[in-house]
Amino acid sequence: MKSESETTASPRTGAPRRVAGNSGAPRNGKPGKSDTASSSSRMLNDYRAHQLSRVQQWRFFLNVALLLCDCAMFLIGSATGLLLFRHVGRASFIASPVFGVTVYLLIGAFVWAVCLRHAGIYHRHVMGDGYQLVPMIIKAACVSWVTLCAVNYIFAVSLPLPTITAMVVLSCLLTIVERMAARGLITRDRRKGAYTYATIVVGSPDGIAHTLRFLADRTQLNYNPVAICPIRETADGTVVSASLSDAELEKLSQAWDVNDLPVLAYDARLGETAVRMKAQTVMVADVLRRDSDNFAAFSLGLESLGLEISLLTSAADIAGHQLSVRTLKGVNILTISLPQYGIATRISKRLFDIVVSAILIVLTSPFMIGTAIAIKLDDHGPIFYKQKRIGVRGKPFEMIKFRSMVVNADALKKKLAKENGQEKRFIFKMKDDPRITRVGHITRKFSLDELPQFFNVFRGDMSIVGPRPPLPEEYAMYDDIYALRMLVRPGITGPWQVSGRSDLSEEESRQLDVAYVQNWSILGDIVYIFRTIGVVLNPKGAY
């Protein structure tokens, strides 16, 4: 590993190397109070330099460029809406209709930008995460529509409601396309090392390895590891620096090129060292629980220096819950809830499923008829395949699909699972499955075999969007955390289907399903439906 100090010890001897300025492991696992006046002054100077760094500059100019593009999309969309309806409003206090509508459009562009800002679209992580992008734009569009209607009424612009609606809808669609294109360009540059935030990873050696592997597989995110800080928790609950064994170094090497990552000590000057290295983020992999005194002291010291703290949590974490805090006689009481499990929200989701499934049954009926004829002509076997699956809260139901495999596919499954070492996997998937028929290869590639499941949705067995419905033998292997996915109806499409499908690992599939259970919403379901269209048109990972 790269040396960053005047005197270093090889990590293979058990002692981690430290960056110059680190004063050793802190007592009681917390930063100490050994800073002198000179070091405090130096730290403040480093912090000022940190705030004026190139990262701050490119982020500012990138947001300005995105802001101008967003406003341009609104102006283009609004002008198109006005031309479509051939109506130009006229404000009561402005003589010229053209000048009046120009002022209205400029006000609208300002409102559009403000609504996008309050929706969080200019946050530094949104362009990397991606999945939040469309919901944020739709939320901003709804608020903009209400605001523009109010402006239209107050200033008597006399634009009809359909015209304003067309303006906002077109602006929303154009902004989504613009942001997706911008995200593609930014992601491409991030793979080359641009537009990233220097990140220090803190945690156990295993946790650091997992985090580095996670970041290596997701180059679209803007985290760029520049150092690691291995720690461990002692028997009395304190946190101290951890040494790295040969086996742990090997595991780290498999996840990332650790020769370029210096090892930092967990001490009083960790924050100052991070600032000196021009880091913007400290990512906590594990060990430091966010409800502990260790984490409170750790986070306060770093946040006071302007550093962002990110926690890589497990599926069991309560991050997706709504939290409220009450203080009674000096004691904080934290109330946890999942608002999407209220009666009104559940009814809304069910009505959404009924309406969407009914519409899609009608729209896809020609494809279903054609698929049925092709299956019958292929091998003269049954058209439909009915299989027992487990639904919401463990209730079994019969799922309907177009048959894409040979008639005795279930009998061959155990043999193939044993041959491919997948006997204990939750989900059995294999490339070049010999059970798939000629027509089945086509129907599975474009998800045509799933179309009859719209009848399951209409009947109430399934939902349009949700986790994949498990087989009884898969459900029997679920642990307590993964069983949480059964709190919602299984879906035709969902996070697993649009995020890689069969190419995902078992762990990734589990995390996506549990995350959906904690965070689902009607708006999020709409986004998944649109993403599914893209997956069907580009069927990567379908087999």
Across the 543 residues of the chain, what is the mean pLDDT of every consecutive 10-residue run? 39 41 42 49 52 62 90 94 69 56 87 93 71 84 93 79 91 93 83 80 89 80 87 83 84 80 86 83 78 69 79 59 60 61 83 95 95 91 92 92 85 71 60 82 88 95 92 83 81 81 66 79 85 74 50
Q: Are 26 and 241 in contact (CB under 8 A)?
A: no
Q: What pLDDT score was predicted for residue 452?
A: 95
Q: Are 280 and 241 in contact (CB under 8 A)?
A: no
Q: What pLDDT score was predicted for residue 246?
A: 82
Element of type H or E holding 529: helix 522-537
CA distances from 328 to 34, 322, 324, 325, 392 (A): 36, 20, 13, 10, 38
Residue corresponding to tokens 């090889």 = 10
Q: What pLDDT score was predicted for residue 336?
A: 59
DSSP string, 315-362: TTS-TTSEEEEEEETTEEEEEEE-GGGSHHHHHHHHHHHHHHHHHHHH
**Residues 6 or more apart from 328 whose CB is under 8 A from it?**
none
Cut 0.75: pTM above it:
no
Q: How far apart are CA 488 and CA 525, in angstroms?
A: 13
Domain ranges in the chain with CATH number 3.40.50.1980: 11-26+195-336
Q: What pLDDT score was predicted for residue 313?
A: 66
Q: What pLDDT score was predicted for residue 17?
A: 46
CATH architecture of the domain covering 11-26+195-336: 3-Layer(aba) Sandwich (3.40)
Rg over CA atoms, the chain: 28
**Residues 6 or more apart from 116 whose CB is under 8 A from it?**
70, 122, 136, 137, 140, 175
Q: How far apart are CA 346 and CA 391, in angstroms?
A: 16
Q: What pLDDT score was predicted for residue 9?
A: 35
What is the pairing mode between strands 281-284 and 197-203? parallel
Q: What pLDDT score was predicted for residue 362?
A: 96
Q: How far apart are CA 48 and CA 52, in angstroms?
A: 6
Residue 208: closest CA among 225, 226, 228: 228
Residue 239: closest CA among 212, 198, 270: 270
Q: How far apart are CA 27 and CA 243, in angstroms?
A: 17
Q: What pLDDT score was predicted for residue 96?
A: 56
Q: How far apart are CA 269 and CA 27, in angstroms?
A: 13
